[in-house]
A and B are shown apart, each in its own frame.
Chain A
Amino acid sequence: MAAPLVELQGIAKTYGSGEAAVHALKDTDLRVYPGQVVGLLGPSGSGKTTLLNLIGCIVEPTRGRMDLDGETVYDGRWLKSDLRRLRLEKIGFIFQFHNLLPFLTAEENVAVALDLAGVSGEEARRRARALLDYLEVGHRGASLPSRLSGGEAQRVAIARALANRPRIILADEPTAALDSGRAGMVMDLLRRLALEQQAAVLVVTHDESIFGRFDHAVSLRDGQVDLP
């Protein structure tokens, strides 16, 4: 089996200190391999979003070790000086409410991620168009997010997440705002991407209708992996 794209060893996160300390995540181990779609399940406050923020290098762990794409990025301290760059190159984010920039067209929303990575304007546009076509929303490229349906907006958001060919895709409730039909389509799409691009996909969800679509699911409770 290939090396894991995401590997967490004893990762913990505590907010505050002393009596006010909140242990959001306790000694968590996790491995996600290329091509896998992993579900992060659990009730509210169980630590799902904290785990996603830690893997997305948005929040600093309190202790433990984290390897992303074969590179140790945290081992008691951050080992990468430019976490922004790391996010830009290796991680794609998909949000619950798509979070498209309201002042950019669908095509520009995808191109902006490429632009930030240093891809020249015309090339960024060309690749954005190709991605939108791939996700079957190419015909809405000139539309503003306010003119897109929920499913179209979510596909544009996925196109943006994929723009820089990330190895790790983090999706926070990607189907929460969609009906079951569109939710299924989005999950099919994520699986296709995981396989075609050999990416690791982590999906935080409460949506029971998609529980069966994961390669495996990690259940969290009170900041700990809830072993069956």
Chain B
Amino acid sequence: MNLAVRDVRHNLGRFLLTCLGLSLLLGVVLSMIGIYRGLVDEALTLVRQPGADLWIVESGTRGPFAEASRIPGDHRDAVARLAGVAAAGSLTFQSVETEHRGRTLRLYVVGYEPGRPGEPRRLAAGRPITRSHYEMLADRRAGLEIGERVRLGRDVYEVVGLTDGIVASGGDPVVHMTLRDSQRLQFELDPPAARRELARGGLPAGLDTVNAVVARVLPGVPEARVAAEAARWKHIAALTQGEQEGLLLKSVVEKARRQIGLFTALLMAVSAVVIALILYTMTMDKVKAIATLKLIGAPDRTIVALILQQALAMGAIGWGAGTLLILLAKDHFPRRLLLLPDDALMLGAAVLVLCVVASGLGVRLALKVDPATALGG
């Protein structure tokens, strides 16, 4: 006879409510893990999007994502001519904020050269950029439609295509435009500022500056060899794709990762305390029944099984409901929440271990119950 099942059946409403509470808590834990995964995935999406093997950036910087990097635009040709390089393309990166349809629209603008590395490889809707100016590709997260016109800086750009899932490490949706347009947006001074610059004897600001040059190497050519070749120019630095991803994760995502990791650990500790308290309270409610069972000859293993089975059932139901809840809600989060099956399973296993450990308090109490408690009032 399974006493745990019968006890649960008897107090079904209370048990399910407890499971619901636990599922919300575990759902938060799972969402934190998902947010971290999403953060890493989003950060890497942008750096992986060009499909580059090498990143050429300003010497002494770890740009363009970890810090600012500026190199002359003509370096693309020089890089393209390096032995072993198949293709190269210039890129700019810039955050912009604009008012659109009565709301503030924050975007991450990537300038690229159509037909060269850096161009979005897949469009979810619309067409690629075909004109030299005033067209852009927007990610769906921006909430823009094809044909919509958005003012950025001094110019108005028309959305001609949509990408899906390309966002910056900060979560801002990415828009792509031609390199020339993005250079004007980033480097061109307003007329009053330009006039002032001329009046004080400065040179007109050059627009042909880029933040990075990306290159693809020929099959079979070691990236490190080409990087070493590029690094012979003292004013630039060359990073392999792996190094760029590592830098991005270390400098941009690391703090967020530690923050989320710590928060997740705290939540797990809170979950453990909550589970332990729930089990302890549930055991307290059954002290008389446990004493009676002991008095009529129930072995300790029967009592332990009663508590442990309920703890495991609570953990399993809480985890299952929490996972389901997050699966249903994940698309409503403002930032990407990436749920990996392995993470969910790992959490499930951790919760079950937690339940076993947390039930220790209840089990200890139950084993200490004196059978004589059952006698008398």
Q: Do A and B truly interact?
A: yes
Closest to A101 in B: B289
Chain B residues 1-34 with CB under 8 Å of chain A are 1, 3, 6-7, 9-11
Interface membership of A93, Cβ < 8 A: yes
Contact call B376/A121, Cβ cutoff below 8 A: no
CB distance from A175 to the nearest CB of B (A): 14
Interface membership of B293, Cβ < 8 A: yes
Chain B residues 272-308 with CB under 8 Å of chain A are 288-289, 292-299, 302
Q: Which residues of B sit under 8 angstroms from A115, Cβ to Cβ?
A: 1
Interface residues on chain B, size class: 20 to 34
A116 CA / B295 CA spacing, docked (Å)? 12
Given known contacts A85-B297, A93-B295, is B288 in contact with A99 (CB within 8 Å)?
Answer: yes
Contact call B295/A172, Cβ cutoff below 8 A: no
Given known contacts A58-B371, A111-B1, A121-B1, is B376 in contact with A101 (CB within 8 Å)?
Answer: no
Flag the segment in A24-32, A48-56, A69-77, A134-142 that touches B. Answer: A48-56
Describe B's contact surface by its main secondary structure: helix
Contact call A87/B302, Cβ cutoff below 8 A: no
Closest to A97 in B: B377
Q: Which residues of B sit under 8 angstroms from A173, Cβ to Cβ?
A: 376
Interface residue count for A (Cβ, 8 Å)?
33
Contact call A160/B296, Cβ cutoff below 8 A: yes
Interface membership of A16, Cβ < 8 A: no
Interface membership of A217, Cβ < 8 A: no
Closest to B288 in A: A99
Given known contacts A103-B6, A121-B1, is B295 in contact with A56 (CB within 8 Å)?
Answer: yes
Given known contacts A99-B292, A103-B9, is B372 in contact with A117 (CB within 8 Å)?
Answer: no
Contact call A172/B297, Cβ cutoff below 8 A: no
Closest to B10 in A: A103
Contact call B297/A84, Cβ cutoff below 8 A: yes
Given known contacts A52-B375, A103-B10, A144-B10, is B289 in contact with A116 (CB within 8 Å)?
Answer: no
CB distance from A45 to the nearest CB of B (A): 13
A88 CA / B292 CA spacing, docked (Å)? 12
Interface membership of A59, Cβ < 8 A: yes
Given known contacts A58-B295, A160-B296, is B372 in contact with A104 (CB within 8 Å)?
Answer: no
A124 CA / B323 CA spacing, docked (Å)? 40
With beta carbons under 8 angstroms apart, the residue of A84, A121, A124 that contacts B299 is: A84
Interface membership of A96, Cβ < 8 A: yes
With beta carbons under 8 angstroms apart, the residue of B1, B296, B374 that contacts A108 is: B1
CB distance from A37 to the nearest CB of B (A): 19
Given known contacts A88-B297, A99-B292, is B372 in contact with A53 (CB within 8 Å)?
Answer: yes
24 A-B pairs within 8 Å (CB atoms) are namely A49-B375, A56-B295, A58-B370, A59-B372, A84-B298, A84-B299, A88-B297, A93-B295, A93-B375, A95-B292, A95-B374, A96-B376, A101-B289, A101-B292, A103-B3, A103-B7, A103-B11, A108-B1, A116-B293, A116-B296, A144-B10, A160-B296, A172-B375, A173-B376
Please list the residues of chain A having a beta carbon within 8 angstroms of any beta carbon in chain B: 49, 52-53, 56, 58-59, 84-85, 87-89, 93, 95-97, 99, 101-104, 108, 111-113, 115-117, 121, 124, 144, 160, 172-173
